[in-house]
Amino acid sequence: MSAVAARVQPTTTRRRAGRVSVWTSYVILLVVALVVVFADALAPYAPNKQDLDAILLPMSGEHWLGTDDLGRDVFSRMLVGTRVSVLAALLAVAISVVIGLPLGIAAGWLGGPTDLVVMRVVDAVMSFPAIVLAIGITATMGPDITTAMISVGIVMSPAILRLARAQTMAIRSETYIEAAKSFGARGLRRMVLPHVLPNIIQPVLVQVAVLMGFALIAEASLSFLQLGVQPPTASWGAVLSRAYTFLDQAPMQIFIPGIAIAATVFSFNIIGDEIQRLLDPKRK
């Protein structure tokens, strides 16, 4: 085998493995989306229906993923919990974009005192560990899934803000911006919306995909600590919390929500990389 062929073969193998991971991620997210929409129809039991004669049953044909400590069907609770977890993550990401994107564009475009004030606030928020700050805000405002996700959205907003600011500052010095100004273009409608926003949307979309994974982990963490969804509502974090309590009696049940969270977060990260590749203007 020639030296050129020896170099090409590992590259081709890596490329094929990358495409497999991308398509696997597509399939996982498609399944998650279908479950979010059709969870009630797919669940064989009511997610909160208790059966004290069927406590902590193992996996079987009747209960595919077993039952929890109150006799509730874990498979049904995972299906309905998928909707809660994903919608909660979407809420957090939406809040982070609503806060971070306009402030980032304003800081990058206006500069000066506006940039100084915004970035000092961002530095103050980022000086705390993200999940610790989210826990503190949630504990102060009261345990609730909506409150928890608003807290997570606020904590995640600096990631969008800093990215939007950096991209806006880079675009502000471009030649076509100077040309637009020379023709009298000013303000939000004539400058920011047509020239800045379309050119920063690619990295923002990539960041949104990554933040979806972080938001899912944050929801699971807060619900695990009983600061997110409240009983008897099901979510991946709530199912994980119940499974951990009875780990010695039903050890397999803790893997079910853990695998769901890990696979979905992995898929969002892979799709984020794929979005970056597809939207790259230098891509051949």
Helices (H), the chain: 3-42, 74-110, 112-126, 130-141, 145-172, 175-182, 187, 197-224, 236-245, 255-279
- The whole-angstrom separation of Cα 159 and Cα 169 is 16
Residue 29 has pLDDT above 50, yes or no: yes
Nearest to 216 by CA among 187, 177, 257: 257
C-alpha angle with apex 234: 230 to 238, nearest 5 degrees? 70
Residue 4 has pLDDT above 60, yes or no: no
Token readout for 12 is 């081709």
Residue 25 has pLDDT above 80, yes or no: yes
Q: Which residue has the tokens 């969270």?
A: 261
Q: Which has the minimum average pLDDT: 79-88, 108-117, 178-187, 208-217?
A: 178-187
Q: Which has the minimum average pLDDT: 33-42, 77-86, 131-140?
A: 131-140
- The whole-angstrom separation of Cα 118 and Cα 166 is 13
Residue 18 has a CB neighbour count (10 Å cut-off) of: 14
Contacts of 68 (CB under 8 A, 6+ apart): 55, 56, 74, 77, 239, 242, 243, 246, 250, 253
The per-residue pLDDT for 125 is 87
The per-residue pLDDT for 235 is 92
Evaluate whether the domain defined by 3-279 bears CATH number 1.10.3720.10.
yes
Q: What percent of the chain has pLDDT over 90?
A: 47
Residue 82 has pLDDT above 90, yes or no: yes
Please list the residues that pair with 73 across neighbouring strands: 67
C-alpha angle with apex 131: 39 to 137, nearest 5 degrees? 90
Is the Cβ–Cβ distance between 156 and 93 less than 8 Å? yes
Q: Is 120 exposed, middle or buried (0-12, 13-18, 19+ CB in 10 A)?
A: exposed
Confidence bin at 41 (pLDDT 50/70/90): very high
The per-residue pLDDT for 73 is 94
